[in-house]
Amino acid sequence: MSMPNTIAEPIESKLDFEHYKRKERIKSWAKGMLFLLPSIILFTVFLFYPLVRTIYLSFFLTNAAGETTVFVGWENFARMFNSPIFMQSMKSTFLFVLYTVPLTIIISLFLALLANEKLRGIGIFRTIYSSTMGISVAAASVFWLYLFHPSIGFLNMIVTGLGFERIGWLTDPTWALIAVAITTIWMNLGFTFLILLGGLQSIDGYLYESADIDGAGYFYKLKNITIPMLSPTLFFVVTVTIINAFQTFGQIDILTQGGPQNTTNLIVYSIYREAFVNYQFGSASAQAVVLFIIILIMTIIQFKLGERKVHYQ
């Protein structure tokens, strides 16, 4: 007679339990959504919608106001890849990434290693090295514009002082991209330096003490402790620097406006010109989509490679 009771009870409580769990889940989901809502709204308005809109536009021709006129399918893309100007722009962009990214990383790593030493007055150097972070693109570009000035620029004064011919930094097709790259490296140094220094400081000092006792030299420690321990930070910095390099715009606009002979017409600047100078919103969107895909692929490759090489604690 007590049997039904003993059986019924657990089932009932189990049902209750399930119900309770489901309610908890819904509640926690709702709470999560509530917290995410601001980001979701912002992302939707400023990112997802423009992204979808750009892809949509890339299949159309538009009028000067940006309204779609004719659906052309893949024609925008086809025309783009046949255009020597666009190909030049792609080439410049990749060259630019190649010039800026490794140098930025190497120089800022070097500075960070220096600034990580325990020396008197090192705080001053840390401040100086990271100071470019606080300078806007416009200010930095104008500053470099003066340095690059063909006759009164400081750089050419050095060059002529050393007995060489003046260089048309921003007007000579062989030099313009390099000049912009130098400016960009200089501007990126502050941020990269600061992140790397932070990474270096978070490495446990005991590891170096242990290595010191083992008799490891400076470069052995650098190769076997510092770099591996810094790899997550390095990875982050490389990713960000690459993406930044692909998206360079401000310094081009101020220094060269894409010239001379389109050698500094990097892809974002090219998109800008196509859209807001030539009013070809369709083909500008197609370029933007290509840029998006390039960055996406680069990032995926990096993460795939990074997974193997990067040591996460």
Residue 137 near another protein by CB under 8 A: no
Copy the structure tokens of residue 185.
């490296």
Residue 237 CB, nearest distance to another protein (Å)? 18
Please identify which residue in the block is written with the tokens 């309770």: 20
Each residue 224-263 as x (binds another protein by CB under 8 A) or -, in order, gives xx--xx-x--------------------------------
Residue 210 near another protein by CB under 8 A: yes
Residue 232: cis peptide before it, omega within 30 degrees of 0: no
Q: Which is nearer to another protein, 16 or 212 (CB)?
A: 212
Among 9, 12, 209, 307, binds another protein (CB under 8 A): 209
The CA distance from 183 to 76, in Å, is 33
Q: Which is nearer to another protein, 166 or 221 (CB)?
A: 221
SS3 70: strand
Copy the structure tokens of residue 277.
């100078």
80: alpha, beta or left? (left if phi > 0; alpha if psi -120 to 50):
alpha
Residues forming beta bridges with residue 71, ordered by sequence position: 60
The helix or strand, by DSSP H or E, that contains position 102, with its residue range, turns out to be helix 84-115
**Span of 121-129, 179-187, 219-227, 283-291 interacting with another protein by CB under 8 A:** 219-227
The CA distance from 176 to 252, in Å, is 10
Residue 216 near another protein by CB under 8 A: yes
**Span of 16-24, 132-140, 170-178, 213-221 interacting with another protein by CB under 8 A:** 213-221
Among 133, 207, 238, 298, binds another protein (CB under 8 A): 207
The CA distance from 78 to 70, in Å, is 16
Q: Which is nearer to another protein, 168 or 228 (CB)?
A: 228
Q: Which is nearer to another protein, 168 or 232 (CB)?
A: 232
Copy the structure tokens of residue 154.
């400081």
- CA-to-CA separations, 233 to 54, 185, 194, 195, 227, in angstroms, rounded: 33, 18, 11, 7, 10
Each residue 176-205 as x (binds another protein by CB under 8 A) or -, in order, gives ----------------------------x-
Copy the structure tokens of residue 258.
């894409």
Residue 20 near another protein by CB under 8 A: no
Q: Which is nearer to another protein, 114 or 225 (CB)?
A: 225
Residue 308 near another protein by CB under 8 A: no
Q: Which is nearer to another protein, 68 or 231 (CB)?
A: 231
SS3 246: helix
Q: In the complex, which residues of this chain contact another protein (CB under 8 A)? A: 204, 206-207, 209-217, 220, 224-225, 228-229, 231, 311, 313
